[in-house]
Amino acid sequence: MDLKLDKLPNFEGRRGPLLFVVMDGVGFGKQDESDAVYLANTPTLDKLLNTPLVTKLKAHGPAVGLPSEDDMGNSEVGHNAIGAGRIFAQGAKLVNHSISAGEIFKTENWANVVKHGKNGGTVHLMGLLSDGNVHSHMNHIFALVNELAKEKVPKVRMHVLADGRDVGEKSVLTYINPTEELLKKISEEKGFDYKIASGGGRMITTMDRYDADWSIVERGWKAHVLGEGRHFKSAAEAIQTMYDENPAITDQYLESFVITDDSDKPVGTIEDGDVVIFWNFRGDRAIEISKAFEAENFDKFDRVKHPKVFYVGMMEYDGDLHIPSNYLVQPPEIDRPINEYLCAEGVTSFALSETQKFGHMTYFWNGNRSGYINKDLEKYIEIPSDRIEFDKAPRMKADEITDKTIELLKSGKYKFGRINYPNGDMVGHTGVVAAAIAAVEAVDQGLAKLLPVIDELDGIAVITADHGNADEMFTVKNGKKDVKTAHTLNPVPFIIYDPNYSGEYKMADIKNPGLTNITGTLINLLGYKNVEDYDQSLIEIL
């Protein structure tokens, strides 16, 4: 298909560049002591919010393709939505449908899972154990386990990763206990052998992303595959022991553990002929462990052994690199993202963030595709993230992102740029209010340096967020304060900073605007008509 954008008759954009800024995790909260965005000293953002070209956007639930208003948004679906300009069914919604319709159990890959499991192989289920609905959901896991029992697969092992980010920071036992009960019930009633075999906290074990820290994956490999780690008789015992040893520890930072039998032998190492299902539906924290299982030539750590298993993901985590080779649910087919149109028009652009959100400004923005759309027109820059708990360094790489953005803008090479400040999200996930305040302030200071450059170059800046996080750092229920490390359901800001604005357009009257409305707006601000089937632009050209 030949893609084309038509010029607007009454507005050709500005002489300078259009800069799109994502303040990751910065939403509109209650403006109380739980709201780190409100508590932060943000003179630049405060001033911007009091200008005419401002609105609030929905960044969760059906507005970004998730099942219900109770489903918090996340960076993946948020950047998918902005890049796509339309709402596509995402993650949990796709899996929900596949399971409820029975489609997942009619696939060739599921048939292979069952075949291996009934021919002597153990079926290993691995992933994030929670109902956060960001990376995974308990309902999906239980559906898989129950179907394996129905298919009379005799031996199943689970390798469970504690959440503590998208759900309560010390809530994993509320998921471990019913899981162990289900496995025990199946084992007793059907005479099968279903057990939890290993686990750990998601930020310590298995779930690294963007090649930030492969030692996390290595710890998972040692626990899940080799059976190396602290020994316990049950997952519940492991969790409670670590809670007792360190009352300040939270689920995401629990160390790796291994379940052993009465002779202290691991109950579930992964061997040749086994099956491994990684049950997360979200891709970013599933890609590295998938590579560790599938790659023949692997140099990230010493695997010690590389068992020949049938490895299958809940979904395809990278559509270009086809990771993993086998998966159970088809990913959303996001065609014609904005970058394809911009490249077709010859618009030069750059994408920039630090490691933690680099993939969001590239892979997710481009509709779950790796690599450049047109390398002659685009430049992607990744600033390596520090390997440190983010509350210990809440500025993260905001200063480096700002400085590099200014350099790129002033080079005169790029008509469009997009950047992501991860601070509000990554530091918000730690639950440390003071650090989150400092993180939001770092982003505001970055904006304060960027806007004069927009003035100087006769450009436009569009500032928004992909979801909330730092705007709600704790909740209060029955007088008890509970730390909140998950994303929020709050709306996010949308701001157009156009120093040469003279009334050529106005904010459009849209009921319940969301992230997908941003895309047509960016196209308009570059001087083009919106794509016909993209969601309505947030501005109306006069």
Residues 259, 266: contact at Cβ < 8 Å?
Answer: yes
Residues 268, 195: contact at Cβ < 8 Å?
Answer: yes
Residues 228, 279: contact at Cβ < 8 Å?
Answer: no
Q: What is the CATH number of the domain that holds 495?
A: 3.40.720.10
Are 294 and 382 within one domain? no
Higher pLDDT, 284 or 193: 193
> Does residue 10 lie within any of the structural domains?
no
H or E segment and range at residue 400: helix 398-410
Are 69 and 99 within one domain? no
Domain end among 312, 329, 346: 329
3-state SS, residue 279? coil
Are 168 and 265 within one domain? yes
Are 101 and 222 within one domain? yes
Q: What is the CATH number of the domain that holds 198?
A: 3.40.1450.10
Of 279-283, 404-408, 530-534, give the lowest mean pLDDT range.
Answer: 279-283
Q: Kindly report, residue by residue over 9-37, the tens digit of the pLDDT.
A: 999 999 999 999 999 999 999 999 999 99
> Does residue 8 lie within any of the structural domains?
no
Are 164 and 71 within one domain? no
Are 381 and 440 within one domain? yes
Domain that holds residue 436: 18-89+334-541
Q: Which amino acid is at 85?
A: G
Separation between Cα atoms, residue 480 and residue 474, nearest integer Å: 10
Are 36 and 114 within one domain? no
Pairing label, strands 460-464, 492-497? antiparallel
Are 422 and 519 within one domain? yes
Cα torsion angle, 252, 254, 255, 258, sign: negative
> Does residue 7 lie within any of the structural domains?
no
Nearest alpha carbon to residue 540 among 529, 532, 531: 529
Q: Kindly report, residue by residue over 503-527, the tens digit of the pLDDT.
A: 999 999 999 999 999 999 999 999 9
> Does residue 75 lie within any of the structural domains?
yes
Domain end among 274, 295, 329: 329
Nearest alpha carbon to residue 77 among 332, 248, 251: 332
Residues serving a catalytic function are 75
> Does residue 361 lie within any of the structural domains?
yes
pLDDT of residue 320: 60
> Does residue 9 lie within any of the structural domains?
no
> Does residue 357 lie within any of the structural domains?
yes
Are 385 and 317 within one domain? no
pLDDT of residue 1: 67
Are 181 and 325 within one domain? yes
> Does residue 1 lie within any of the structural domains?
no
Pairing label, strands 275-278, 123-128? parallel
Indicate the pLDDT class of residue 211, thresholds 50, 70 and 90: confident
If one counts the domains in the chain, the total is 2
Separation between Cα atoms, residue 472 and residue 354, nearest integer Å: 24
Residues 255, 241: contact at Cβ < 8 Å?
Answer: no
Are 393 and 489 within one domain? yes
> Taking residues 265-273, what's their average pLDDT?
98
DSSP 220: H
Half-sphere exposure of 325 (CA within 13 A, CB side): 10
Domain end among 286, 310, 329: 329
Q: Kindly report, residue by residue over 325-355, the tens digit of the pLDDT.
A: 999 998 777 999 999 999 999 999 999 999 9
Pairing label, strands 492-497, 310-315? unpaired
Are 374 and 441 within one domain? yes
